[in-house]
Amino acid sequence: MVLPRTQEENARQRALTYFQRAGIYLTKDEMDSLKAVDFGLGRLEEIGLERVVYVKTGRCCAKEMILFPGQTCPEHIHLPFEAEPGKEETFRCRWGKVYLYVPGKPVQKPQAKIPEDLRQYFTVWHEIVLTPGGQYTLAPNTLHWFQGGPDGAVVSEFSTNNRDEADIYSNPEISMAPRRN
Amino acid sequence: MVLPRTQEENARQRALTYFQRAGIYLTKDEMDSLKAVDFGLGRLEEIGLERVVYVKTGRCCAKEMILFPGQTCPEHIHLPFEAEPGKEETFRCRWGKVYLYVPGKPVQKPQAKIPEDLRQYFTVWHEIVLTPGGQYTLAPNTLHWFQGGPDGAVVSEFSTNNRDEADIYSNPEISMAPRRN
């Protein structure tokens, strides 16, 4: 399923306002490079994120991600590949609030809400709430997902290099869908 | 030479105002962890920088650096170590202006000014000027140095892991001096 162009452009423009609110300066080229990623499900407002990649070399990567209120990056894992142990990533909240879920004791009343029909694809429920300045480093090979809080979120990601083919999503429709990111 | 405590504290407090100006939120612990680094020369206003390390794992590193007006990170190189090719780093200017110098055609009239007695320890003069949103990725094993512009600078650094013992400074007094960073 392909995201309609107007919907993608609206999401891009809306994401740019988050950068302004967070006081993060982007160049014109970076604004143009901002992508709305719907993971192929065509439900961007629910399952998606917006992002600008600052740097991606063979060794490390830094990007800025926007999550609209309630918008969710779906559960996935970064598997080891070749001689590498898999992608290690640190999330740092710059603005707003983000709910991050990882393996561990499940929270009783999760703050994130997931569409009922996708509920089966979210299996880890240990909740970490990040507000500005809060950060969390995720070891490779760890299931995780995250959702923007009531006002959305701006999140920096610092990581080792990744390989798209080593990213496995819990929802098989995502791995089979055309990759838009 | 040890930086007097009051001078270090003044630099720390001054650096915190740069984070505010750049709209970068730090937690209380991060504010406390902010370090003024004088590279052991005791000339912090000329040769030094202030920094907060967000994350430093065995694989990658992200930090924020402050350079006061005219304050210089002295020339150095990140050598290969063990099986690693050496530290690769990306500088991204968030606020202000930074003059970065790398190997290549020397600039005719460099914008950075270096104290005359230290001039011999600055050997690469290809000038790159970074303003907000500007960034530059430095390959490992590349001599480089940088200086804050007229209003100073806030610079993000995204990098692979580093080893202090693989950082070689052109000024031998620095490698012999007690390491403060």
DSSP codes of every residue in B42-99? S-TTTB-EEEEEEEE-SSEEEEEEEE-TT-EEEEEEE--BTTB----EEEEEEEEEEE
Of A60, A90, A132, the CB nearest to B159: A60
CB within 8 Å of B146: residues ≥ 6 apart: B67, B72, B73, B91, B98, B99, B100, B101, B112, B155
Q: Which of B60, B138, B155 to mutate to test the interface with A (most CBs of A within 10 A)?
A: B60
Based on DSSP, count helices (H) and strands (E) in chain B, helices before strands: 3, 9
pLDDT at B177 over 80: no
Rg (chain A; Cα; Å):
15
The pLDDT value recorded for residue A127 is 98
Q: What percent of chain A has pLDDT over 90?
A: 83
CA-CA distance, A102 to A138, in Å (whole number)?
9
Does B54 contact A26 at a Cβ distance shorter than 8 Å?
no
* Structural domains of chain B, with CATH: 5-159 (2.60.120.10)
Q: Does A132 touch chain B (CB under 8 A)?
A: yes
Name the minimum distance, in Å, from the CA of A74 to any CA of chain B. 24
Average pLDDT over residues B120-140: 97
* Confidence band, pLDDT 50/70/90 cuts, at residue B180: very low
Q: CA-to-CA distance for B67 and A143, rounded, in angstroms?
A: 39
Among the partner residues B30, B132, B160, nearest to A60 by beta-carbon distance? B160
User: Tell me, what's the pLDDT at B2?
Assistant: 65
Segment among A50-59, B1-10, B116-125, B152-161 with least mean pLDDT = B1-10
Q: Which residue is associated with the tokens 């480093």?
A: A137
Interatomic CA distance for residues A64 and A36, integer angstroms: 12
Report CB contact under 8 Å: B94, A25. yes
Q: Indicate the range of A97-101, B2-6, B93-97 predicted with least confidence.
A: B2-6
Tens-digit pLDDT profile for residues A16-50 = 999 999 999 999 999 999 999 999 999 999 999 99
Beta-carbon contacts below 8 Å between A and B: 76
Residue B178 has pLDDT above 80, yes or no: no
For residue A172, report the phi and psi dihedrals to the nearest 5 degrees.
Answer: -65, -20
**Chain A interface, best mutation among B24, B29, B59, B142, by max A CB count within 10 A:** B59
With CB atoms and an 8 Å threshold, state whether B60 touches A158: yes
3-class DSSP state of B149: strand
ipTM of the modeled complex: 0.90
Contact criterion met (CB < 8 Å) for B26 and A158: no
pLDDT for the residue B176: 44
Q: Is the distance from CB of B60 to CB of A139 less than 8 angstroms?
A: no
pLDDT band at B102 (very low <50, low <70, confident <90, very high): very high
HEC states along A100-156?
EEECCCCCCCCCCCCCHHHHHHCCCCEEEEECCCCEEEECCCCCEEEEEEEEEEEEE
Distances (CA, A) of B165 to A104, B18, B80: 38, 30, 10
Pairing of strands A60-67, A89-102: unpaired
Q: Across residues A55-82, what is the average pLDDT?
A: 93
The answer to whether A83 contacts chain B (CB < 8 Å) is: no
Model confidence, pTM: 0.92
* Model pLDDT for residues B46-62, shown as the tens digit of each residue: 999 999 999 999 889 99
What's the one-letter identity of residue A33?
S
Mean pLDDT for all residues in chain B: 92
CA torsion B112→B113→B116→B121, rounded to 10°? Answer: -20
Q: Could you give the CA distance from residue B37 to residue A41 in angstroms, rounded to a whole number?
A: 49
Q: Which of residues 36-75 of B touch A (CB under 8 A)?
A: 54-55, 57, 59-62
Choose the closest CB to B59 out of A26, A30, A88. Answer: A88
Cβ distance B54 to A92 less than 8 Å, yes or no, reads yes
